[in-house]
Amino acid sequence: MGKILLGIDIGTSSCKVVSFSPDGTVLGKASEDYPVYYPQQGWAEQNPNEWWEAVCRAVKAVVKTEDAREIAGVGIDGQSWSAIAVDENGNVLCNTPIWTDTRSIEICGEMKKLAGEDALFETSGNPVQPMYTMPKVLWYKKHLPQVYSNTAKILQSNSFIAYRLTGEISQDVSQGYGWNCYDMKRNEWNWDICERLGVKTALLPEISPCHKVIGSVSAKAAKQTGLKAGTPVVAGGLDAACAALGAGVVKAGQTQEQGGQAGGMSICMDSCRADKRLILGAHVVPGLWLLQGGTVGGGGALKWFARQLGGIGENFDELCREAQKIPAGSEGLVFLPYMAGERSPIWDPNAKGVFFGIDFSKTTAHFTRAVLEGVAYSLRHNLETAQAAGATAQTLHVMGGSANSLLWTQIKADVTGRRLLVPSSDTATALGAAILAGVGTGVYSGFEEAAAQTLRINRVHEPDIFLREVYNDGYRIYRKLYENLKSVT
């Protein structure tokens, strides 16, 4: 058996494919972009077939014919809360609403009446929100009845790619949290909730552990990707959970800070403890859960600013160099990163992004730094909410492209008052997916061994206590702004 592990990461704006040695060394990597479509206000959708086409191109770029035989296994992680409707032949019936889509707001109210809000929360450990998978499926039933009637299964982003690779239908435990009928404590479907909501139980695939080998690369997929037919493929999992694994979060009490398109954190727990203000999901590591907080405006907020207002395209390094010249607190400029509504802890699909404190003295650099600080304030808000719920995070394991910015990482340390550890940041998510393949195929004996072999801390950021007061003032304004503006539509 070969020793190379392949991780496929289905992100919001692109897929990344990375090959690793068992010690976590990157051997090759490639990425391919795909679009997000916004056909109506509140809608955000993607074409899963475009994910697959991007995966094929990226895998071909990484996997050469001479080393395809050395790949021991393939792991896949993906963005949350997809609702990919496929027919009995595996054909995609419509674009999938993605995690920022809020079209099913009215469906959420209907769900609460049909099954009871308390019963839904007690089962899934999560609030009823339009971003989740279940409301989207019920939206299909109401507004796209032809699609719903022809749907054989609903897949998640990673399980769709696994299906294209193997021909096998799957549903991993870490993506179960998008279904309000998923019993979070028992890791199984609650068929009574399905019946109350009127969802066909046949749509839900069998649940698998994230590291379980669900099939092998088919001859057809081998031709499309360059992989060797017969290569094992594991179920994979949620991108945030795989990122936590890739950042070394494998024990209760450890915490991952996410710096990708979205921002947020995941606190690892050895018991199932839910809070309506946060997001609860099963970890990709068996027997553990992740209490998560997430903002829609993480790295995506800076990308938006760079494209629309930054004046220099997407030269993030140059933007951050200029922002570093601005004092902490951005001289009174505060940014709310609610760029597509907001997730935890406010759960307001109507929340809007805001710049507050604009005057003639403010420059592009001020606005850039305010974006960096606003995302850090949202992280602090989620950490404080988790602490109030009984889950305290002391040290954060950082991952994602944002961690490549020394300034942004230091701002997060200063705003939250936490110590931040930075491992191999922008490949941590794909590494987590690859580790799942490694555990599933026996390259590693278990998850702690895998973490010990692959984790390397590149940087440590300690909070600057002398900036505590200025960031406390900025955070106070940040919190007050939303409270004062939320009724303004």
Q: Is residue 450 part of a domain?
A: no
Instruction: Give the pLDDT mean for 180-197.
Output: 97
Q: Kindly report, residue by residue over 324-346, the tens digit of the pLDDT.
A: 999 999 999 999 999 989 999 99
pLDDT score recorded for residue 149: 98
Instruction: Give the pLDDT mean for 362-384.
Output: 97
- In the chain, the percentage of residues whose pLDDT exceeds 70 is 98
With a CB cutoff of 8 Å and minimum separation 6, the contacts of 248 are 254, 397, 423, 451, 454, 455
Q: Kindly report, residue by residue over 418-439, the tens digit of the pLDDT.
A: 999 998 657 889 999 999 999 9
Domain hosting residue 403, numbered range: 249-422+458-489
Confidence of residue 401 (pLDDT cuts 50, 70, 90): confident
pLDDT score recorded for residue 4: 96
In the structure, how many helices (H) and strands (E) does the chain have?
Answer: 16, 24
Does residue 137 sit in the same domain as residue 61?
yes
Does residue 297 sit in the same domain as residue 217?
no
Q: Tell me if 260 sits within 8 A of 429, measured CB to CB.
A: yes
Choose the weakest-confidence range: 225-239, 250-264, 358-372, 444-458.
250-264
Confidence of residue 315 (pLDDT cuts 50, 70, 90): confident
Last residue in a domain, options 181, 210, 239 = 239
Instruction: Give the pLDDT mean for 194-202.
Output: 97
pLDDT score recorded for residue 297: 87
Confidence of residue 65 (pLDDT cuts 50, 70, 90): low
Q: Is residue 453 part of a domain?
A: no
Does residue 159 sit in the same domain as residue 187?
yes
Instruction: Give the pLDDT mean for 58-67.
Output: 86
How far, in Å, CA of 76 to CA of 239, rounded? 9
How far, in Å, CA of 340 to CA of 397, rounded? 26
Last residue in a domain, options 218, 239, 260 = 239
pLDDT score recorded for residue 312: 61
pLDDT score recorded for residue 1: 59
Does residue 207 sit in the same domain as residue 125?
yes
Last residue in a domain, options 198, 220, 239 = 239
Alpha helices in 4-75 (DSSP H): 48-62
pLDDT score recorded for residue 426: 73
Does residue 15 sit in the same domain as residue 112?
yes
Coil, helix or strand at residue 303:
helix
